[in-house]
Amino acid sequence: MPRSKDPSTAPEPLRVMIVDSDPERSRNLRGALTLAGYRVVAELRESIALPDAVQGLKPHIVIVAADSPDRDTLEHISLTTRNAPRPVVMFTQDGGAETIRAAVKAGVSAYVVDGLSPERIRPILEVACARFEAHQALAERLAETERKLAERKAVERAKGLLMQRRGLSEDEAYRELRRLAMQTGKRLGEVAETLLAAAHLL
Amino acid sequence: MSKDIQSPTANPASSEALNPGRREFLRASTALSAAALMSLVPPGVRNAAWASGSDAPEKPEVKIGFIPLTDCASVVIAAEKGFDKKYGIKIVPSKEASWAGVRDKLVNGELDAAHVLYGLIYGLQLGVAGPRKDMAVLMTLNHNGQAITMNNQLRAKGVTDGEGLARLVKAEPKEWTFAQTFPTGTHAMWLYYWMATYGIHPFNDVKVITVPPPQMVANMRVDKMDGYCVGEPWNARAVHDKIGFSALTTQDIWVDHPEKVLGTTLEFVQKYPNTCRAMIAAILDASKYIDTMANRSEVARIISGKAYVNTEFSVIEGRMLGRYDNGLGRTWQDKNYMKFYNDGMVNYPYLSDGMWFLTQHKRWGLLKDHPDYLAVARAVNQIELYKQAAAMTKTPLPKSDLRTSRLIDGTVWDGRNPRAYADGFKIKV
């Protein structure tokens, strides 16, 4: 399977953390994950150690039971550590196919049914990661588009300012901005924004 | 207009055209709303009509999620005392383990509705840090009855209130840790608001973590945090177990503040409006029952059971009756105890209440830009449905969709200029 995050060929296996109060289920899951080529960095039983463990061990994926109260704690962690968010895959007792489909469609998280076999675990984690990456990529693209739009607006306004204050033509104003950008090694948008911010002081 | 000119194949529209009396009636009833008309009918007849006519609940059984907290009482009592049957539905309360779980189950339809944090519904509506989904607030479930607890180490350092904490945080900077229950939820907002009132920046001066309500006490016992904000009975529990004290109640932050709501998805409202109306009516009746103080001890006993809050009856009962003991030797009868009805003042889904959570989400950077406050609140809070259910249950309605409150820092919130209000705080992100 030509996937960049394929744990067997990637230089470093994906780091997985398990949070589960049921020791037997947790142990089985660890076995299955290890067989599938993942590195289980921790098996936590309770939430008390959760924030520290996530910060210290930096797992790529956290697996937590759907009915675990610790999910709220994880929610907060992924909100506050924006640079290193991670998919949370859950398993549930009542994971009917319908429920799982609805959950995935709703963009909640991927569900893994309880008592899963080792050969099933990898495709499920891969789907979860792929979905997560797609979501991240989309979010980044949106942020990039918004930034570009804002920059374009700033450039337009900065040109207008130069034309008005220095009596330049539109072309000349643009060239002036570009010259400044090249001199300072900044993006055109950044130069325009700096100029506009400074203009407020004058 | 005689019958003989009507062809046997006439469609409903043309038969209506031939019957101006009927058309007039239909127009009048739409303008007045069905509920207003129903309020003219004697209650016994009316209930039968709602249940048997076209207003009969489309979905007769509803699964309503709740978290083990005192303020889940009205959902539980509606089912336990059979108020649901009166309106032709069966409420099945479903105990949930986490707010994230409640959110996911609302989104994917495993739960029909839930006892849920006001701010969580608005966070979901705008996709703050998670999935985005069009949501609905059917009614407010309670006012007041949450608190901020501090541990004994703070007490040993002479800190018993916000001012003391502010002094300590400046004098001894370290990772002072405070817990709330969900990033977009009510307890996070009460905690942040209270801290900022005393000049403490909740993100720069202290460390804030999220801990599920029933685990607060256990976490404080092992020194994982210095304080927390949560709903009862988990503050009373800390006093009872002598591991901490109540620094203040949330009614001290905002008298009669909105807290939990009956939340669902907009999709559910559109698909099952009659079921929604019946849910609101049943819970309004239950709220009325709980606010009859003579019933409160019985209510406390019911919700203390294993299936619900699962903690000692005595720990729940005291503060439900307004009897407070802060754990520092002060006891008092609080007139602003947890209210479920208060002549309908509690339950009306005020637009200003909904907008307030948006202003705080903006203030703390959960929302990057100002939303269209009023439009969002109008879309989420189902005022029309609520009014119909209020008519069915003879619940008084307020005059306005906005209400005015003065909060602990002296700031007045009236919902009229949310953008300026959100931007007006000195301490923000």
Contact A109 B104 (CB under 8 A): yes
Predicted confidence at residue A111, as pLDDT, reads: 46
Predicted confidence at residue B127, as pLDDT, reads: 87
Of B100, B133, B215, the CB nearest to A47: B215
- Check if A107 contacts B (Cβ < 8 Å): yes
pLDDT digits (tens, 9 = 90+) for B7-20: 333 333 333 333 44
Work out the pLDDT band at B46, boundaries 50, 70, 90: very low
Predicted confidence at residue B21, as pLDDT, reads: 44
Give φ, ψ of B414 to 5 degrees.
-125, 5
Average pLDDT, chain B: 89
Does any domain span residue B54? no
- Check if A82 contacts B (Cβ < 8 Å): no
Question: Can you list the domains of chain A with their CATH numbers?
Answer: 15-116 (3.40.50.2300), 143-199 (1.10.10.10)
The stretch B353-369 carries a mean pLDDT of 96
Q: How many CA atoms lie within 13 A of B230 on its CB side?
A: 32
In order of A49, A137, B211, the CA distances from B222 in angstroms are 11, 40, 14
Contact B212 A75 (CB under 8 A): no
Does any domain span residue B37? no
Predicted confidence at residue A81, as pLDDT, reads: 58
- ipTM metric: 0.70
Work out the pLDDT band at A127, boundaries 50, 70, 90: low
CA-derived radius of gyration, chain A? 25
Residues in contact with A84: Cβ distance below 8 Å, sequence separation at least 6, in sequence order: A58
Tell whether pTM > 0.90.
no
The stretch B88-115 carries a mean pLDDT of 93
**Cα–Cα distance measured from residue A171 to residue A174, given in angstroms and rounded to the nearest whole number:** 5
Does any domain span residue B95? yes
Predicted confidence at residue B352, as pLDDT, reads: 98
Predicted confidence at residue A44, as pLDDT, reads: 86
Mutate to test the interface with A, among B67, B102, B103, B104 (most CBs of A within 10 A): B104
- Check if B181 contacts A (Cβ < 8 Å): yes
Predicted confidence at residue A162, as pLDDT, reads: 92
Three-class DSSP category at B176: coil
- Check if B218 contacts A (Cβ < 8 Å): yes
Contact A72 B109 (CB under 8 A): no
Which carries the bigger pLDDT value, residue A144 or residue B51? A144
Which carries the bigger pLDDT value, residue A54 or residue B164? B164
Does any domain span residue B201? no
Which carries the bigger pLDDT value, residue B28 or residue A166? A166
The stretch B38-52 carries a mean pLDDT of 45
Q: Searching chain A, which residue's CA lies closest to the CA of residue B110?
A: A99
Number of domains in chain B: 1
Does any domain span residue B188? no
Would you say A79 and A103 are in contact if contact means Cβ atoms under 8 Å apart?
no
- β B177-180/A39-44 pair status: unpaired
**Cα–Cα distance measured from residue A154 to residue B352, given in angstroms and rounded to the nearest whole number:** 35
What's the CATH number where B340 sits?
Answer: 3.40.190.10
Mutate to test the interface with B, among A67, A72, A147 (most CBs of B within 10 A): A72
Whether the predicted pLDDT of B24 surpasses 50: no
Beta bridge partners of B260: B117
Which carries the bigger pLDDT value, residue A16 or residue A78? A16
Which residue matches tokens 């309106």? B87
Contact B110 A99 (CB under 8 A): yes
Give φ, ψ of A145 to 5 degrees.
-60, -45
- β B331-333/B146-151 pair status: unpaired
Which carries the bigger pLDDT value, residue A103 or residue B177? B177
Does any domain span residue B336? yes
Range of the domain at B270: 61-142+258-349+367-396
Predicted confidence at residue B367, as pLDDT, reads: 94
Does any domain span residue B3? no
Would you say B46 and B58 are in contact if contact means Cβ atoms under 8 Å apart?
no
Contact B131 A106 (CB under 8 A): yes
Predicted confidence at residue A94, as pLDDT, reads: 53
* Alpha helix stretches (DSSP H) within B198-350: 216-221, 234-240, 266-271, 273-291, 296-303, 313-320
Q: Considering chain B, what percentage of its residues have pLDDT values greater than 70?
A: 87
Contact A108 B219 (CB under 8 A): no
Q: Considering chain A, what percentage of its residues have pLDDT values greater than 90?
A: 14
Contact B215 A67 (CB under 8 A): no
User: Taking CB atoms and an 8 Å cutoff, what residues of chain B touch A109?
Assistant: 104
The stretch B118-135 carries a mean pLDDT of 90
Q: How is residue B62 written in tokens?
A: 């509803």
The stretch A130-145 carries a mean pLDDT of 73
**Cα–Cα distance measured from residue B25 to residue B23, given in angstroms and rounded to the nearest whole number:** 5
Q: How many CA atoms lie within 13 A of B134 on its CB side?
A: 9
pLDDT digits (tens, 9 = 90+) for B306-320: 999 999 999 999 999
- Check if B31 contacts A (Cβ < 8 Å): no
pLDDT digits (tens, 9 = 90+) for A71-106: 787 777 766 655 444 556 555 555 555 555 555 554
Predicted confidence at residue A47, as pLDDT, reads: 64
Distance from CA of A114 to the nearest CA of B (A): 17
Contact B100 A102 (CB under 8 A): no
Q: Considering chain B, what percentage of its residues have pLDDT values greater than 90?
A: 81
Of A48, A76, A99, the CB nearest to B224: A48
**Cα–Cα distance measured from residue B120 to residue B128, given in angstroms and rounded to the nearest whole number:** 9
**Cα–Cα distance measured from residue B299 to residue B34, given in angstroms and rounded to the nearest whole number:** 33
Predicted confidence at residue A55, as pLDDT, reads: 78
Does any domain span residue B163? no
Find the range with the poorest average confidence among A33-47, B48-62, B349-363, B386-400.
B48-62
Q: How is residue A97 written in tokens?
A: 């196919």
Work out the pLDDT band at A144, boundaries 50, 70, 90: confident
Contact A99 B210 (CB under 8 A): no
Distance from CA of A144 to the nearest CA of B (A): 15
Instruction: Identify the CA nearest to B347 among candidates B389, B378, B317.
Output: B389
Which carries the bigger pLDDT value, residue B94 or residue A118? B94
- Number of A/B CB contacts below 8 angstroms equals 73
Whether the predicted pLDDT of A36 surpasses 90: no
Q: Which residues 221-280 of chain B have a CB within 8 Å of chain A?
A: 222, 224
**Cα–Cα distance measured from residue A126 to residue A10, given in angstroms and rounded to the nearest whole number:** 13
Work out the pLDDT band at B40, boundaries 50, 70, 90: very low
The stretch B261-288 carries a mean pLDDT of 98
> What dihedral angle (degrees, nearest 10) is formed by the CA atoms of A192, A194, A195, A197?
120
Q: How many CA atoms lie within 13 A of A141 on its CB side?
A: 6
pLDDT digits (tens, 9 = 90+) for A2-14: 444 444 444 567 7
**Cα–Cα distance measured from residue A144 to residue A10, given in angstroms and rounded to the nearest whole number:** 28
